[in-house]
Structure 1
Amino acid sequence: MVSIMIYGPGSRGNAEFCIINLAFHLRLAMPWVVEMCKKNHYNILTLLIFAMFLTCMPKPAFSSNSDNEKLYQGVIKKCDNELFRKNNTIPPGKTFEDVFPKIWVSGSVLCISTSDIDSVLADSVESIIDRYGARLNKVRISSLGGDAESAMRIGFRIYQNHMDVFPYGMCLSACANYIFLAGRHKYIGTSRFMGYPENKWVVTKPIIGFHGAPKPASEAERSNIDLMRVKDMHDKFFAMIGVSDSITDVLPCNLLNDHLFQETQSKVGSSNIYWVHPPQEMENVFRVKGLRYNKNFKYKLVPGTSKLADEDRMPVGDGFLAGPCRL
Structure 2
Amino acid sequence: MKFKCTFEQRVFMRQFFTLALLTIVLSGCGPFIRTTKGGSEIVFDGAITKESVAKFKEELAASPKAKKLMIRSRGGDAEAGIDIGDLVFQRHLDVEVKDHCMSACANYIFPAGRAKVIPKDALVAWHGRGFAHAVHVIQTREVPAPVDKPLEHFEIPDAEKKAFVDKIINAMIDQRSKEEDFYKKIGVNSFIAWIGRIPPYQAEDFYTMSPADMAKFGVSRVQADAGYENSDFSQRTSSKLVVIKVGDEVSPPVIANPKRPEEWFTWK
Instruction: State which structure, 1 or 2, has the greater radius of gyration over its C-alpha atoms.
Output: 1
**What corresponds to 1:299 in structure 2?**
230
SS at match of 1:127: helix
Map 1:118-137 to 2 at 5 A: 118-133=49-64, 135-137=65-67
**Residue matched to 2:175:** 230
Whole-angstrom distance in 2 between the partners of 1:210 and 1:117: 16
Question: 1:142 matched to which residue of 2?
Answer: 72
Aligned residues: 194
Query: Identical aligned pairs, as a percentage?
Result: 21
Q: Give the match's secondary structure for 1:289.
A: coil
What's the offset of the Cα at 1:249? 1.6
* Counterparts of residues 163-202 of structure 1 (less than 5 Å): 163-190=93-120
* Distance change >3 Å, CA 100–CA 154, structure 1 → 2: closer
d(CA) in 2 for partners of 1:175, 1:296: 22
1:61 maps to what in 2?
none
1:144-197 deviation digits (Å, cap 9, x = unpaired) = 11111101110001000000001121211110000000000001112xxxxxxx
Write the letter of the residue equivalent to 1:214.
Answer: F
**Counterpart contact for 1:255–1:322, Cα < 8 Å:** yes
Deviation at 1:130, TM superposition (A): 1.5
Indicate the residue corresponding to 2:243 in structure 1: 321
| Superposition TM-score, scaled by structure 2 size | 0.64
Per-residue CA deviations over 1:178-233 (Å, capped at 9, x if unaligned) read 0000000001112xxxxxxxxxxxxx332333422202244746764432332121
* Separation in structure 2 between the aligned mates of residue 278 and residue 182 of structure 1, nearest angstrom: 17
Secondary structure of 2:62's counterpart equals helix
1:274 CA displacement:
1.0
What CA distance in whole angstroms lies between the structure 2 residues aligned with 1:117 and 1:100? Answer: 8
The higher relative CO (CA closer than 8 Å, separation ≥ 6) is in 2
The change in CA–CA distance for 1:181 and 1:100 in structure 2 (over 3 A counts) is closer
More strand by share: 1
- TM-score scaled to structure 1, two decimals? 0.53
- Unaligned residue ranges in structure 1 (runs of 5+): 1-94, 191-203, 266-272, 301-308
Q: Contact 2:44/2:71 (CA < 8 Å) preserved in 1? A: yes
Task: Provide the C-alpha distance between the structure 2 equivalents of 1:287 and 1:221, rounded to a whole number of angstroms.
Answer: 33
| Counterpart among 122, 127, 134 of residue 205 in structure 1 | 122
Give 1:255's aligned residue. 201
One of 184, 189, 197 as aligned partner of 1:239: 184
- d(CA) in 1 for partners of 2:29, 2:185: 37
RMSD: 2.7
Residue in structure 2 matched with residue 289 of structure 1 by the alignment: 220
Please state whether the residue corresponding to 1:167 is helix, strand or coil. strand
Q: Is residue 173–residue 209 contact of structure 1 (8 Å, CA) maintained in 2?
A: yes
Identify the range of structure 1 (154-163 vs 218-227) with the bigger mean alpha-carbon deviation.
218-227
Question: Deviation digits for residues 109-131 of structure 1, max 9, x if unmatched?
Answer: 110110x2111111100111122
The residue number in structure 1 matching 2:151 is none
